[in-house]
Structure 1
Amino acid sequence: MVGGDAVSVERVDALLAAVPARDREVRPEALARAERQRRRWATQVVVVDELARRACAERGLAPPPEVSPARVLAVSGTEVADLGSIVAVALAHSPAVRGLLAAFEAEQQVPEPAVRDYYDRNHDRFLTPEALRLGVDPFGAVQPSDVLPYEEVRERVARELRRAWARQAFLDWLDRARAGVRYAPGHEHPGDPSHPDHERRH
């Protein structure tokens, strides 16, 4: 139940059909456990999509086009590492999630001191090609000539910070938005500690 409205099990089933199982269990009890967790995981992806649809409507954002779950986009390992598999797949699967994240990104105001501070603290990310070729240690005695000029990379840094802050704002929003969700038996969060087979590797 999201906001007092039921989210249909058919949406979860459709996502499960579109995303192949990652587990290769053969023992019946292990396979049953893996499938229970997969259903709980898919429920979370659907819930994130539903919450994002509602948030887009509340913000007056254009309604996203419907996308068949069978067309779930590829998800990179970096996205999974950064966001967790639930949010990474929701981002690939849901136009509403992408639209809401874009709205969060547009709202981020990155002040100049934050950009400069990031540049000054991360010279390892801005070594010149020559410094890289010579094997300059970015954590040692770096010369100014070893580092790309601030003006040359400023926009890139601001863009990366804006993206990172938007993702954090999205995750904070999601934590708050999920607080009122109620799950049917068998569809609880895969990390719910009240279940003996809970896990945190999602």
Structure 2
Amino acid sequence: MNGRTADSVPAALVGGVPVARERVDVVLAMVPARDREVRPEGQARAERQRRRWATQVVVADELARRACAARGLAPPPREAPARPPAVSGTEVADLGSIIAVTLAHSPAARTLLAALEAEQRVPEEAVREYYDRNPDRFLTPEALRRGVDPYGGAEPGDFLPYDAVHDVVVRELRRALGRQAFFDWLDRARADVEYMPGHEHPGDPSHPDHEHRH
């Protein structure tokens, strides 16, 4: 490829600028492989998909760095990780493994997410609607102990007052809106990425062993 050695071939190009494969290797080293496959061909396939997955984490980090620079945000410097980033199963379920690990791995991604979240405005009617639609989330501790059914037979006093939980609901809705804004930003930003062979998105149907799980 243009006279470059195999070692110098990048994992991807972001806006035409190479993203080094060594950054992908760092993510792979941080997140150990899971032994889900026992046959050699299965292990090879899993490792190919793992590299593609790790490339997505690195690309998202690079895109977040650029977005922070464009916004005048200064993420804290990344320190060499002493252990793999802590990612809970809930975070993976809510965000997908790529974004969950990106946020654990990338100070720039966390800084950008915080900025996007701070920009969100939550209408009062959305707060009220959430409170009215989710009575099970606002039972008092006493009502929970008594096993009160929030959808039948509950009394007004069995629920925490709207004013008492208003700010908590606002924070929760703002967090959800911020995450959606982050997803939308990443989808748009990825349009400027070119992946090298072996580093395509795991769900890219152009390679034969693609998969749709993140």
1:125 Cα deviation after fit: 0.3
What 5-or-longer segments of structure 1 have no aligned partner? none
- C-alpha distance in structure 2 between counterparts of 1:7 and 1:69, whole Å: 20
Distance 1:54 1:69 in 2: 22
| Residue in structure 2 matched with residue 57 of structure 1 by the alignment | 69
Structure 2 residue identity aligned to 1:10 = E
Aligned residues: 202
Q: Are the counterparts in 1 of residues 61 and 109 from structure 2 also a CA contact under 8 Å?
A: yes
- Contact 1:51/1:177 (<8 A) preserved: yes
Q: How does 1:84-103 map to 2 (within 5 A)?
A: 84-103=96-115
Q: Which residue of structure 1 aligns with residue 31 of structure 2?
A: 19
Equivalent position of 1:142 in the other structure: 154
When residues 95 and 71 of structure 1 are mapped into structure 2, their CA distance, relative to the original with a 3 A threshold, is farther
Which aligned segments of 4 or more residues in structure 1 are displaced greater than 6 angstroms?
none
Q: Which moved more, 1:159-168 or 1:70-79?
A: 70-79
Correspondence 1:159 to 2:171 = yes
Q: Among all aligned residue pairs of Structure 1 and Structure 2, give the percentage whose two residues are the same amino acid.
A: 77
- Unaligned runs of at least 5 residues, structure 2: 1-12
CA distance in 2, matches of 1:141, 1:193: 52
Hey, what's the Cα distance between the residues in 2 that align with 1:22 and 1:200? 18
SS at 2:90's partner residue?
helix
Matched residues in 1 for 2:112 and 2:125: separation? Answer: 27
State the superposition RMSD in angstroms.
1.2
Task: Report if aligned partners of 1:14, 1:70 keep a CA contact under 8 Å in 2.
Answer: no
Over 3 Å counting, the alpha-carbon distance change for 1:69 and 1:11 in structure 2 is farther
In the alignment, is residue 168 of structure 1 matched against residue 180 of structure 2? yes
The alpha carbon displacement at 1:25 in A equals: 2.3
Q: Does the 8 Å contact 2:30/2:85 carry over to 1?
A: no
**Higher strand proportion (structure 1 or 2):** 2
SS of equivalent residue, structure 1 residue 162:
helix
